[in-house]
Structure 1
Amino acid sequence: MTRSKANSKKQHGIDFKKIRRKVGRKLPPPKNTTNTEIKSKAIVLPEQSVAAEKAGLAVNKKGLTLKELLQQTSHHNPKVRREALMGIKDLFTRHPAEQKSHRYVTVEKLRERIGDDDKVVRKSLYDLFKIVILPCCKEDNQELVVSLLMPYIFNAMTHFSVDVRMMAFDFLDLILEFYPPSFSPSYAEKIFLNYEDILRRNQYYLQDKGKLKAALSGLVRCLSLLPWNKAQTDLPNKDDTGRRVLFAYDDEMSMNSNGFSNIVKSLKDLVPPLMNIFLEFIPLIHSMESLEGKSFACMTSILHSIDLIVRSITHGSDKKSEYPSSQGGPDVADVTISSALLKKLFPRFPLNPTDHLSARDCGRLLDLNMVIAKIFFELNEWMCLPPHLLERFLEFLENALLGKFFWTTQSAKAVWEEEHLVLLLPFIPKIVSRGVGDWTSRLLQAFTLTFRESKPGSLLKACVSAIEDVLTYMEGMHSTGTSNPQYIVLQEALRAWTGDLPRLLIQLGNNHPACSQALVRLLHRIGQHAWNPALVCMYNNMQQSLQDFYCTYQEGGPICFGPFLRLPRESQVLALCSIYYFSHLDLPILKSLVYCCLSDDIDSYVLFWIIDVLQLAYERGCIEIADYLSFFITLAARFKVSPEFGSPGFKGDPLCQTLKSMTDKIYSCIQQMGDKAIVLRLIERLIIDQISQKPSLDNRCSLLRMVVSVDSKPTLLSEQSIATLGHHLSEYLIDVVQCVPEDDGQRTPSFQFSFRCYYTVPCFLMLDRCHELTNLVLKKLGSVIYDSSVLLKSDKCSQDVRNCLNKVNAVTSALSLLHGDPQIRRIMSLYKKNIDNVIEQVISLQIVTLMHSKADCLLHAIPYLVKLIDLSGLKSVFVCLVLYLWDEAISSGEISMKIEEQDIMKRALHQLNILRDNFKS
């Protein structure tokens, strides 16, 4: 039975009215909602402002102080910690003094973030230390900074997160970069233990080669800073930092301590994990189309680390006899080193490239092979390695020396040799010294080719160092006899190397002073250790080719100086010492040396060193006495002095002082030559010829001093020499009084007599030893006056008259100078007739000049006339006539005077009046 519709409608009645609302409109709040809105006004308290509290404090751009920023570095939010580190960087950049004042407090607080869980925080902290903090603390107490940081770095190295551990090694590498000398052996042991632990996770790092590369780079830095590795650091991109010491303790002290044995143990434990990682990379070389950069960098760092470890262990083995308590040595390393290298690394040598690798990748593999070869030869010096392996590595070494590898360009080859081939050159002398059969000759020939073709740089210096080591080995062989065939092979190689030295020195010039010094040092070493006739002959044969190194010349042609004069002083001294070891010094090499001495670029120290070396060579009998004396005469006659004579700086001119000192040295050398009479006969004619060419006054003085040094009283000079000297000594005295200023009475302690006396003493000694020479000098002075008188009688211009009178005045001054010496005065009294003749010539000249109304030109002659009359005591009609004429000329005003000449005239008139009174009496 169905229900009715009416009942159905009644049942569905409407209880609530439904409100239809449009979409998007906000619903009104319920009617029973409580309004919780609170309105308030701000309370302003100026006295409590934060800005007022920070007044005078350094803040960053956000207004935060260093204290606030350091507190925020411990915030639980990583973003706040990052912003705090950036704020500290900004604050220190704005206020460097703030960083200087609070650097240690800052380091003490920031070190807590070394093991931070957030990667960005650690990176920001690393940049802050690298760019701002550590450079500021570099000159401060480094040990304090290191002691603050190292515990937290070691703590981060044991963190459960691998990323934190890897970042800890980055912080360690940063410390090593800025403070390498501040570490102790205890740090090293912990460092290497942590490296060992981290390297054993090789599977993880093969997936992230960037982290492995960073870790290995840090390991290489640590190993290279070990004290026994510091002197031989050979990283491809080494710098000054890489050469500094990891530990601030003495090498021998470290060897004698327990720390060394613990370090060596840690180093040996590093080899297996390093070797395992390297073997993991080898399959990748053949599977990849190209050798990926990070993989190559990792493999290179691994090999460098192994090389440094092997060197460290061999260093400990070398010291084993000195320190028996030290552990290590071949017996222990047989287990670790041999198993890892002999069984895993060396059998795979060389790493041959596949067809799909490019030329660049082949070059990278060659670089790896070079480091492997270096490890092998380093180990071969310490323990005997299998012959079949030695054969393989020797063949590789020969090919490397001969340049048989493929190169895209010659420049690429040169760069490779400078960076890699130089690593193997030090092993050649050691390999040769052990004797390797036919390989000795083959390696020496290949090495000779490399030496001849090497460009200036580290390769050439390495070649020179290897040759020096061969010389040392040959010295030991010579003491036991030279019948060994190996010695003959080495001697032939040495002959070839020695023959190339002069050519290389000339080619280098002064553009590469370090390489030139290495070659000169080798040249000196060869000359010093030429211990048998064959080597002596070989060394002497270099003399002709070595001449161009000093100077080349042609008779009457130009002089071309070699690189010798432009090298540093140390290289010049070594080159001169090399000359000492020639069995005989020929005249051409002596001429080259004397031209160097006469050069404007010669250093006085080098000049005197040349004389000393030649003196030693002469004493050994290596120089002919005639050649040696000719060297001295040329040096004394042609050495250039710069000043104008009579100038204010004449006394202190350095070139004049150098010539004087050089003359003293020559004087001393000649005194030691033996019989003076023989020496005088050898140099007499040469010196007279040089004086006749009228060189400068200083040069003539030096030549006269040479004659005086070997002459005696009475003189040993020949009549011809005396006649020639009589003419030139008079001119020499005139030049002395004209050019050299008189002593001003202010003598320095270095001058025991007048400055002018330096030039006159040699002349006085010669006049004292030969009275005939005095007579000739006086006659020549009189002839000078006569010639001037004849010239004045002719019609000449006023300037010619003045020049003649100046010469007359010089003659009178020279006579006065001679008269001032008591010994010469006594000798001059024997030739009074000549002196009277000179005075009469002067008086006659005065009369002629007055008669021709040229009295103004005679103004400066009055003092000299007075001196002559006073010296001779001459009283004659000439005196009366001259006094009368002068009195008339002065009274009538015929003589015109300048203002500055009035004092001279007054003094002269006073002297004339005195003479007139004496004459009347």
Structure 2
Amino acid sequence: MGRPKGGAAASSSSSKKPKAKPKQRGGVDFKKYKHKVGRKLPPPKNATNTEIKSKAIVLPEQSMASERAGMAVNKRGLTLRELLQQTGHYNANVRRAALNGIKDIIVKHPSELRLHKVAIVEKLQERICDTDKVVRESLFSILQSFIFPSLKEDNAISTRSTLFLLMANILNGMTHLSMDVQLVSFRFLELVVINFPSSFPRYAEQVFNNFLAVLSNDRIHLQDKSKLNSVLSALGHCLSQVAYATENGNTSNRLGHNVSGRELWKCTLDEDNSGSRAFAMSSILMKLQNLIQILVNSVEVLASELSAKSTIDAQSSEALLSALHCLDLICKIFIQEVKKPQMKLGRSKTQFGPEWLKSSVLVYMMKLWGVSRSFHEKGDDKYYFFNLKIAEIFLCLSACMDNTMFPADKFCQFVSSLLAKVKTIRNKDTMEKNLNIITSIPDLVSNAPDDSKGYILEAFTDAFRDCKVDCKLILPYLDAMGKMLLPEKTGILFTEKDSGLEYHGAWVDELPRFLLQSIDKAPSVTKVVLELLLRIGQYFPTMECGNLHSFVKLFGVKSSSGTVELGPFIKLPRDCQELAISCLYYFSSLLPDTVELLASCCLSDVLEPIILFKIVEVLQSSYKAGNLHITDQLSFLSLLMARFRIHPGPFCTQEDSQKGSSLSTFKSLNHLILTSLSEMGDGSLVLELMWDILSKEIVRIQNYAFLLCSHLKTIELFYICLFMQAQIPSLHNMNGLFRIIVTLDAGTCKLMNEDAIKVIAGYLIDAAMDLSKTIELGFQSDQTRVFQYFIKPCIIIFCQNEKVLCCTLEMLKSFATGDDHGLSCVSKLNYPGELSRRICIVTSILIFLCNDGKLHKHLSLGKSVIKGILQHIRHLMDSNLPGVTYEDKQKLRFAFEQLKTKALQLNCWDRSELEGFSSTT
């Protein structure tokens, strides 16, 4: 049908409606439904409903959380038992989560570890050979941080079997097909050896076999150097156990030396006899011999790799140092075995002697010497520590080397060049850890040819001078120097032809400097230096000590004005003080400059009495040996006796009185000084020599007393007087000076001097006035015995010299009558102005003198003096002076009667004369 033409025709045709379909005739059998796609058909009308409806059944107390109430669980709510079971799961993620959960429980509940540590180890040790790296690392962390520290604390016998199981799995891991499992097994071995060294000897032979196998594998050298470092680190710890046992004379089954592991290893000792232990050590030595070859090859490979690089790789450097450290330990083991006597095992004889060492060890060391030469020729400081370790190895073997294998001259130059570079090394901490060759210097010097010793000694001396006192190397330097100075230690003896003698003085000259610097910076060095100085003084008694003059600064420094500033000696510990004092006995040339400084130290309140007595004894011994002049010793003893301060004093506080009995110390010192003086020879000659010293001290006392008495009248200067009073010797010091005179020569004519008479009279008056104070110092409460202690030396003097007694009585009379202008300047007390008190003081002195029967004959010569005193007392009682009260007259009457009674006992006067004298009163 064609398209209609024109718009009208088209619109008319489109408006027409379609025709409707005609309806069907007849009935419909089925009704047809139209359904949409995806709609569910309704069920048929005759369908059966099969739906079941039910309610939930809830049973109380059936949850898992209620069963775990009070139990230790981790974050996921699992107990320790469940977590241990999951460590064996086939899924690696489950095993990782289980180990993390165990760590969580141990941290939050430490009691779980204390109760179940054995069960935990027995279960976790299976994971040593786990195929998953994270699982192995987690196990290592748990053992290192938690389990092993807890096992070391209790040291229970039950841990023995646990460690055996652990070692079995470690040995199994060392032979695992996976290289990663092998390497981590050596880390576990190192952890066990560090914490339980006694568990190593039983497996030593098998362990070294595994070391040989893994280090022989080229794969470990081609892989990451950190893996090689882990193996070498474990080997170093195992070799350390063998080296310790060999050095201490133990066999292979006694290699452990950790305290916590001793009990653990006792069970294995019962199973072995001496023969099997020796055979085990022999087998181990053979395996170590094979290890040397492997380690030397490793050093060559690592050295060539480092030489080819422009910068040193940290891991390669660590691997090289670890390999050298293992070689050093093996060489030390061999040297110790060579020094031991040969071991006989039945009919066979195994001998490890020098020839065996040359053929089995030194042959391989030729390659190591080549490595050191290549490093040394480069002249780069970055190879310094490698050469240092190589030199340490050869120093260990120096006793067994000869000039045919290693040129001694070149080797000495090589070591001296290493010592010379110590000053240029910037990293001091690294240098201090690796510079162990210092301790081997004495052995090298003893074995080196005479023409090669100069290189070593010169380099050693320069390095020693530049060493700081707070450096860790100072103690090795001092030890090495002591060995070369003192032949009895190492047998090194330098003759006059040797070049070593010229360095002795240089070493000794540095010791005082180290001593003075170490007191504040390194106290541990102080005692070492003092011990070394003492040994030097004992071995070289004729040594020139001119360069040791700075040693005197230890005791103090004397200024230009004459005052002494105490040195650090008084702050040293007691043992160091005793060493310093003992050194003075041998360094006699230092004594003249030290005596005055020692006296100042002795007068210090800080110094202990035992050190004070030690100083007196050492100086007395030096005098007897002819090392100290007699005038110096007399000056020292007099100074101590005159200026030793006794607490408490007249102006002491309550705290001072509780410090202790310095009086008992002074008594012991007094006895020691008098004994020393009596040993010096004729007493009159000794007193003649020291009289000027005693007079000087007496003048010093007089000057202090005069100033004190003059200032006591001014209140403004009261505190100045207190200070001056503290400096004035007490009655005990004066008593000591008088005892010196009595001990040496009580009848000396030196006492006839007017000044000496004033001192004696003033001393008696001071003692009578100070009775109440002296009782508090520890004497008996009986005043008679107290005063007798003070006047005893005066009584001895009076018995030997009656003229001194008569002059003293005249001086006492002048004091009683008030005419004491000359006497007031020799006493430290401000005399009372009351005549009644003065008379009582003099009366008490005369009564004590009269009580001594030895003085009766001499007192009869002074009866006129006593009579004059009695007349003066009578005059005061009869007079009506305004200053004399009724109480004073009663005191005067009592004194008069006492003195008259004592005068009758002297038989100096007739009874009628005295009775008539008294009746007129």
With the shorter chain as reference, the TM-score category is 0.7 to 0.9
Superposed counterparts of 1:196-595, under 5 Å: 196-226=212-242, 228=244, 258=278, 260-320=281-341, 327-342=351-366, 344-352=367-375, 362-384=380-402, 386=404, 389-403=407-421, 412=426, 414-415=428-429, 417-421=431-435, 423-456=436-469, 457-473=471-487, 482=495, 485-486=497-498, 489-530=499-540, 536=542, 538-542=543-547, 544-554=549-559, 556-582=561-587, 586-595=591-600
2:737 to 681, 699, 703: 703
Deviations 1:769-817 (A, max 9, x none): 43433333333333222227999xxxxxxx9967877666554554455
Deviations 1:501-529 (A, max 9, x none): 33443444542223333332222222211
* Aligned partners of 1:58 and 1:66 also within 8 Å: yes
Q: CA deviation at 1:95?
A: 3.5
* RMSD value, Cα: 4.7
Q: Does 1:693 align with 2:703?
A: no
2:189 to 153, 158, 172: 172
Task: Label 1:804 to 1:539 Cα distance change in 2 as closer, same or farther (>3 A).
Answer: farther
Task: Label 1:453 to 1:393 Cα distance change in 2 as closer, same or farther (>3 A).
Answer: same
Name the CA distance, whole Å, in 2 between partners of 1:560 and 1:19: 122
Paired letter, 1:454: C
Task: Label 1:756 to 1:374 Cα distance change in 2 as closer, same or farther (>3 A).
Answer: farther
Q: Does 1:140 align with 2:154?
A: yes
Paired letter, 1:866: F
Corresponding residue SS for 1:328? coil
Name the CA distance, whole Å, in 2 between partners of 1:255 and 1:504: 52
Deviations 1:414-469 (A, max 9, x none): 55653334x22233322322342432223222222222221113323222222222
Q: Which deviates the most, 135-144 or 778-787?
A: 135-144
Paired letter, 1:552: V
Unaligned runs of 5+ in 1: 1-15, 233-240, 792-798, 877-917
Name the CA distance, whole Å, in 2 between partners of 1:824 and 1:323: 89
Q: CA deviation at 1:271?
A: 1.6
Paired letter, 1:627: D
1:765 to 791, 796, 807: 796
Name the CA distance, whole Å, in 1 between partners of 2:788 and 2:877: 30
Corresponding residue SS for 1:289? coil
Name the CA distance, whole Å, in 2 between partners of 1:414 and 1:702: 58
1:718 to 749, 754, 778: 749
Task: Label 1:501 to 1:286 Cα distance change in 2 as closer, same or farther (>3 A).
Answer: closer
1:671 to 670, 678, 688: 678
Aligned to 1:898: none
Unaligned runs of 5+ in 2: 1-31, 249-255, 702-727, 823-829, 905-917
Aligned residues: 819
1:852 to 882, 906, 910: 882
Q: Does 1:777 align with 2:787?
A: no
Q: CA deviation at 1:310?
A: 0.5
Task: Label 1:223 to 1:871 Cα distance change in 2 as closer, same or farther (>3 A).
Answer: farther
Q: CA deviation at 1:295?
A: 0.9
Name the CA distance, whole Å, in 2 between partners of 1:322 and 1:636: 68
Please tell me whether Structure 1 or Structure 2 has the larger radius of gyration of its CA atoms: 2
Name the CA distance, whole Å, in 1 between partners of 2:417 and 2:424: 11
Name the CA distance, whole Å, in 1 between partners of 2:783 and 2:213: 81
* Aligned partners of 1:839 and 1:869 also within 8 Å: no
Aligned to 1:124: 138
TM-score, scaled relative to structure 1: 0.77
Q: CA deviation at 1:837?
A: 3.9
* Aligned partners of 2:537 and 2:586 also within 8 Å: yes
Corresponding residue SS for 2:529? helix
1:155 to 160, 163, 169: 169
Q: Which deviates the most, 91-100 or 276-285?
A: 91-100
Task: Label 1:834 to 1:184 Cα distance change in 2 as closer, same or farther (>3 A).
Answer: farther
Corresponding residue SS for 2:311? coil
2:56 to 16, 28, 41: 41
Deviations 1:516-572 (A, max 9, x none): 3333222222221127xxxx2x43434544333432214633323444334333333
Corresponding residue SS for 2:232? helix
Superposed counterparts of 1:652-667, under 5 Å: 653-667=660-674
Paired letter, 2:897: I
Deviations 1:266-307 (A, max 9, x none): 433322222222222123213333211111111111111111
Q: CA deviation at 1:622?
A: 1.5
Name the CA distance, whole Å, in 2 between partners of 1:549 and 1:28: 117
TM-score, scaled relative to structure 2: 0.77
Task: Label 1:222 to 1:765 Cα distance change in 2 as closer, same or farther (>3 A).
Answer: farther
Q: Does 1:680 align with 2:654?
A: no
Q: CA deviation at 1:665?
A: 1.7
Q: CA deviation at 1:69?
A: 4.1
Name the CA distance, whole Å, in 1 between partners of 2:789 and 2:388: 69
Corresponding residue SS for 2:607? coil
Paired letter, 1:203: R
Name the CA distance, whole Å, in 2 between partners of 1:138 and 1:862: 88
* Aligned partners of 2:442 and 2:484 also within 8 Å: yes
Name the CA distance, whole Å, in 2 between partners of 1:719 and 1:116: 102
Q: Does 1:787 align with 2:815?
A: no
Aligned to 1:732: 763
Name the CA distance, whole Å, in 2 between partners of 1:254 and 1:762: 77
Paired letter, 1:500: E
* Aligned partners of 1:576 and 1:610 also within 8 Å: yes
Superposed counterparts of 1:608-623, under 5 Å: 608-623=613-628
Corresponding residue SS for 1:158? helix
Task: Label 1:59 to 1:210 Cα distance change in 2 as closer, same or farther (>3 A).
Answer: same
Deviations 1:845-870 (A, max 9, x none): 6777x7426749x67x9668635633
Name the CA distance, whole Å, in 1 between partners of 2:244 and 2:576: 30
Identity in percent: 29
Task: Label 1:78 to 1:768 Cα distance change in 2 as closer, same or farther (>3 A).
Answer: farther
Task: Label 1:334 to 1:433 Cα distance change in 2 as closer, same or farther (>3 A).
Answer: closer
Superposed counterparts of 1:722-871, under 5 Å: 723-739=754-770, 741=772, 758-787=789-818, 810-815=841-846, 817-818=848-849, 823=854, 828=859, 831-838=862-869, 841=872, 851-852=881-882, 855=885, 866=894, 869-871=897-899
Name the CA distance, whole Å, in 2 between partners of 1:174 and 1:704: 76
Task: Label 1:150 to 1:855 Cα distance change in 2 as closer, same or farther (>3 A).
Answer: farther
Paired letter, 1:330: P
Task: Label 1:510 to 1:657 Cα distance change in 2 as closer, same or farther (>3 A).
Answer: farther
Paired letter, 1:425: I
